A and B are shown apart, each in its own frame.
Chain A
Amino acid sequence: MLKRFRENKATQGTLLISPTLIFMIGLLLIPLLLTLVISFGRRAPDGTVIYDFSFDNYIRLSGIRTECANGAAVCFDPIYAEILTRSLTLAFNTTVIAILLAYPLSYFIARAPAKKRNTYLFLILVPMWTNFVIRVYAWMMLLRTQGVINSVLGWLTGLVGLSFTPLEILYTPSAVLVGMVYEFLPFMILPLYTSLEKIDLSLYEAAADLGANRIRTFLRVTLPLSMPGIVAGTILVFVPVMGTFIVSDLLGGRQIVLVGNLIQNQFLIARDPTFGSTASLVLMSLTLIVTYFYTRKFGFGEEIISA
């Protein structure tokens, strides 16, 4: 029996992945199928689910209405489309800003002496030892009207004798964007660093030797060779930003509703798991579609994964 096991690679493989497989089936596939089933159900008055096969939730989410205020037969209620667009825009902006901030930093770390690199990476990971929610609260302390940023600005303007009206940053879309970028920046830095660190220094010398100045070396050599890092980082930032609700909840003051908030509200406040499930599935499909087209164009960042 043991001998057969040792000789049979296929059996070995199946056994090795079975813990993960059981985990994935039990905690991902089955719940996902349940969500799908529930999304076609209807909400009972007591908040439980009536299992049915109705497209009501999907129609509701699409915004197409048959009962209209102005008496028309069909009209469009943009509220959910707006939430989806807002989420997509925010995820896109967060990703772009994260790339712009992470690139120079990752480049700097990758080119630093080998001994210092680990220290720098360690410093980037230190904030992650604090709970996600606590870090968001910390941003509230910084951004609110009587917060650190406004106090410092007020003190500085006071020094030069100017009057100062505190900036209203907290509970604005900007606050949410700042919070998102802060929370997910390390997920952009790490893969970018990995891909930049792997670029052989002699390639920069070869480019210079062949007549490329620093800018052209960057555009023709550094940037293309770091694409796997950008792709991996983008997936790691874009996907969670699409679904997170804590940042927008706390820094947006419940005024900035993202898909994540919508889902949370449906399950916990409106007590309508059927519509919540529908929104969850639509969010997932949307994210999958975006990443599908993105990775089809740029690959999966395999080089990073295989490194």
Chain B
Amino acid sequence: MSEFAVELQDVVKRFPTPEGGEVYAVNHVTMQINNGEFFSMLGSSGCGKTTSLRLVAGFEWPTQGEVYIQGLPQGHTPPFKRPVNTVFQNYALFQHMSVEQNIAFGLEMDRVQKTEIKQRVGEVLEMVKLSKMERRTPRQLSGGQQQRVALARALVKRPQVLLLDEPLGALDLKLRKEMQLELKALQQEVGITFIYVTHDQEEALTMSDRIAVMSHGKVLQMGSPIEIYERPNCKFVADFIGTTNFMEGTLNSLEKDQALVYVPSLDVEVQGFAMGSVKVGDTVAISIRPEKIRLAENAKLHQNCFQGTISTTTYIGSDTHLIVDVNGSKFKVWEQNKISSLEPEAYYTLGQKVWLILFPENTLVMANE
């Protein structure tokens, strides 16, 4: 077995535009996906994630570079000769076939024996909890059930890599959450490499071992969910994953990863933790997540402490979401409601003066792009 399940080496995919020009759907992408990994490609529409997946599936061929599956260069290998299977966004189920026939289709194409087909279809139906539905047609199933058929149809072929193109996109929120956990459990059970395309950052964080954040055909950052969330390497990633507060400033000094940034809007120097490659003199972005800002009624320190006024409070049950105005700069702050209380004094109130404390290790300094 090769070291990597799938490898993209400096892959470029250009498409002609109707105006006669060319557009880079995938722009020099290199990534290695390990065996047995749940790997997600995350980005907004048009970022190149689906094209990358289609390059692995064989529906598209790279303009430049090479796709390797289990160490073998794929070149112009057609989809039906690749050891991968796809779960399509709209499921792409054959409406003229029953659930059973849909799932058996891929095995019939491989000329698997009839008795074995029957046995494997039965197994996979049980795995996706669709036993007793095998005689129905896709039209007679709910969205979630159709999704399972699509999954079963791909899994029954025991591919080395399963490609999933926003498979939960059409489901409602509750079902989507359920299916996320089920998919993750299923992936661990079968041990197949999953490559999962999604625009939903929460979904990617919940399910993935590693995530590649993509934008404009390029991979901006690749790493575990914790790395991506806690150590975003640029402004785009910090903004795309979760919620954050940004300040803009000039990097005044840098010692190892301890950065001092002058922030003109507050007219102070902020101490932070440098991410990626930033140089003294650069215009940089400072990001701090709303749940990582500490609120206090008094502050003893001067570094990274700012006094402000609460301009909005929103009680959402587990947390209270506040907006604090510091000399015209608005900071989102999320306070956990740790104490069960009906007393108004237990909560921050509108117009209250508070201190914001930005601990340097939570205050990330990164490239402003």
**Interface residues, chain A, with chain B CB atoms under 8 Å away:** 200, 202-203, 205-213, 216, 220-221, 224-225
Contact = CB atoms under 8 A, between A and B. Distances in A.
Contacts, number: 58
Interface in B284-318: none
Interface stretch (B103-111, B230-238, B242-250, B346-354): B103-111
B85 interface: yes
Interface stretch (B34-42, B92-100, B275-283): B92-100
Contact of A202 (B79, B92, B96): B92
B106 A203 contact: no
B88 A206 contact: yes
Nearest to A205: B59
B158 to A, nearest CB: 12
B88 A205 contact: yes
24 contacts: A202-B89, A202-B90, A202-B92, A203-B92, A203-B94, A205-B79, A206-B88, A206-B93, A208-B58, A208-B59, A208-B79, A209-B57, A209-B59, A209-B86, A210-B80, A210-B109, A210-B154, A210-B157, A211-B106, A212-B109, A213-B78, A224-B96, A225-B95, A225-B96
A216 B79 CA distance: 14
B210 interface: no
Given A209-B57, A210-B157, A225-B95, A202 B88 contact: yes
Nearest to A203: B92
B49 interface: no
B96 A209 contact: no
Given A205-B59, A205-B79, A210 B85 contact: yes
B148 interface: no
A89 to B, nearest CB: 31
A211 B80 contact: yes
B106 A210 contact: yes
B92 A200 contact: yes
Interface in B35-64: 57-59
Interface of B: 57-59, 78-80, 84-86, 88-90, 92-96, 105-106, 109-110, 153-154, 157
Given A209-B79, A225-B95, 17 more contacts: A203-B94, A205-B88, A206-B86, A206-B88, A206-B93, A207-B105, A209-B80, A209-B154, A210-B109, A210-B153, A211-B106, A211-B109, A211-B110, A211-B157, A212-B105, A213-B78, A216-B109
Interface SS, B side: loop
A212 B90 contact: no
B92 A220 contact: no
Given A210-B153, A210-B157, A213-B80, A205 B110 contact: no
Contact of A200 (B90, B106, B109): B90
Given A211-B110, A220-B105, A206 B92 contact: yes
Nearest to B105: A210
Contact of A221 (B59, B80, B90, B94): B94
Contacts of B89: 202
A-B pairs, top 3 by smallest CB distance, nearest first, are: A211-B109, A210-B106, A206-B92
Contacts of B85: 209-210
A209 B109 CA distance: 10
Contacts of B84: 209
A203 B93 CA distance: 7
Contacts of B153: 210
A172 B127 CA distance: 65
A211 B92 CA distance: 15
Nearest to A115: B18
A208 B105 CA distance: 11
Contacts of A221: 94
Contacts of B88: 202, 205-206
B150 to A, nearest CB: 8
A212 B105 CA distance: 9
Nearest to A303: B95
> Which residue, A211, A212, A216, A221, has most C-beta atoms of chain B within 10 A?
A211
A224 B96 CA distance: 7
Contacts of B90: 200, 202
> Which residue, A207, A208, A209, A220, has most C-beta atoms of chain B within 10 A?
A209
B80 A212 contact: yes
Contacts of A210: 80, 85, 105-106, 109, 153-154, 157
A209 B163 CA distance: 10
Nearest to B111: A211
Contacts of B59: 205, 208-209
A208 B78 contact: yes
A202 B87 CA distance: 11
A206 B91 CA distance: 9
B140 to A, nearest CB: 16
A43 B95 CA distance: 57
B215 to A, nearest CB: 25
B61 to A, nearest CB: 13
B64 to A, nearest CB: 23
A232 B80 CA distance: 33
B106 to A, nearest CB: 4
A212 B82 CA distance: 11
A225 to B, nearest CB: 6
Contacts of A203: 92, 94
A206 B87 CA distance: 8
Nearest to A206: B92
